[in-house]
Amino acid sequence: QQQVKQSPQSLIVQKGGISIINCAYENTAFDYFPWYQQFPGKGPALLIAIRPDVSEKKEGRFTISFNKSAKQFSLHIMDSQPGDSATYFCAAPDGTASKLTFGTGTRLQVTL
């Protein structure tokens, strides 16, 4: 069964700063590695995802970096904004690839 370790558990960043969240997985990579974003009182929603055949994917201020040999991937939020304050989950496919194993989540707070 896929295991995913996510760090840090919580993060406080000043507005305009860079937020970095890390994840490590144990088993062999499959199709893709997604990041989900969850605002208080809402369900998680897909933020960005990366395929294991590329080392980086950028969408606006959000970038995923992927290191296949180290079995690690990270989320970078550039120019962090108060509206980015949320809980972020990384995930890795498990076996059938439709079943995801989620990390324990990182609660990000962006201060003014």
Partner 1 sequence: DADVTQTPRNRITKTGKRIMLECSQTKGHDRMYWYRQDPGLGLQLIYYSFDVKDINKGEISDGYSVSRQAQAKFSLSLESAIPNQTALYFCATSDRRDRLLTGLETQYFGPGTRLLVL
> In the complex, which residues of this chain contact partner 1 (CB under 8 A)?
1, 6, 9, 31-32, 34, 36, 41-46, 49, 51, 89, 97-105
For partner 1, which is the closer residue by CB, 13 or 103?
103
For partner 1, which is the closer residue by CB, 5 or 15?
5
Distance CA 6, CA 4 (A): 6
* Cα–Cα nearest to 46, from 13, 105, 99, 91: 91
Question: Measured from the CB of residue 112, what is the shortest distance to partner 1 in angstroms?
Answer: 25
Q: DSSP labels for 13-79? A: EETTS-EEEEEEE-S---S-EEEEEE-TTS--EEEEEE-TT-SEEEETTEEEEEETTTTEEEEEESS
Question: Measured from the CB of residue 86, what is the shortest distance to partner 1 in angstroms?
Answer: 13
Question: Measured from the CB of residue 81, what is the shortest distance to partner 1 in angstroms?
Answer: 23
Question: Measured from the CB of residue 51, what is the shortest distance to partner 1 in angstroms?
Answer: 6
